[in-house]
């Protein structure tokens, strides 16, 4: 992701309709500094290497995993609050789980998707997706709203 772009201030001044006060023009600068994405990636890389794994950096502008629909090879922009994606064949999937599935099926250059592998692995993904969804819905544990179940 482009972390510098997340730090930029909002250009437009917005006024809250209820209170009449000006919205803050700040973005994610402080939280980015506090959470330190570069440090997280560094720590993740070290841990992955310790267990003979690796971290693969993917260009989010080329892959657009949360927008891609493998059933018709289209890209549809979604709001961040939209936690489920409806594919063109009618299948409904949790957006983050589907994105992870797609990212696991990138080609060797990590720029495009291996559509043959996606096609063969998708039925198993849907089976596991539905089991996970059912398990989480029946669980009495707290889940963040971003999960969507």
Q: pLDDT tens digits for 33-89? A: 556 677 788 889 999 999 999 988 888 888 999 999 999 989 999 888 889 999 999
Find tokens 């409904």 and name the residue: 92
pLDDT of residue 2: 62
Q: In the chain, what are the domain boundaries?
A: 3-50, 61-142
| Rounded average pLDDT over 135-141 | 86
pLDDT of residue 70: 93
Per-residue DSSP letter, 144: -
% of residues, the chain, pLDDT over 90: 46
pLDDT of residue 81: 86
Number of Cβ atoms within 10 Å of the Cβ of 98: 24
Interatomic CA distance for residues 7 and 61, integer angstroms: 18
pLDDT of residue 18: 84
Interatomic CA distance for residues 32 and 111, integer angstroms: 26
- Give the residue from 95, 70, 59, 68 showing the smallest Cα distance to 80: 95
Find tokens 């998707």 and name the residue: 113
Interatomic CA distance for residues 66 and 146, integer angstroms: 14
């Amino acid at each position: 992701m482009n972390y510098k772009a997340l730090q930029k201030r909002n250009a437009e001044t917005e006024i809250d309709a209820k209170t009449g006060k000006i919205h803050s023009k700040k973005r994610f600068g402080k939280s980015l500094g506090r959470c330190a994405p570069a440090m997280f990636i560094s720590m993740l890389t070290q841990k992955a290497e310790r267990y003979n794994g690796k971290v693969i950096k993917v260009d989010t502008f080329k892959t657009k995993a949360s927008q891609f629909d493998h059933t018709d090879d289209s890209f549809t922009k979604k709001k961040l609050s939209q936690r489920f994606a409806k594919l063109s064949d009618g299948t409904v999937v949790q957006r983050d789980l589907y994105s992870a599935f797609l990212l696991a099926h990138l080609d060797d250059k990590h720029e495009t998707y291996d559509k043959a592998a996606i096609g063969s692995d998708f039925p198993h993904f849907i089976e596991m997706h539905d089991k996970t969804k059912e398990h989480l819905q029946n669980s009495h544990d707290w889940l963040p709203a971003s999960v969507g179940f």
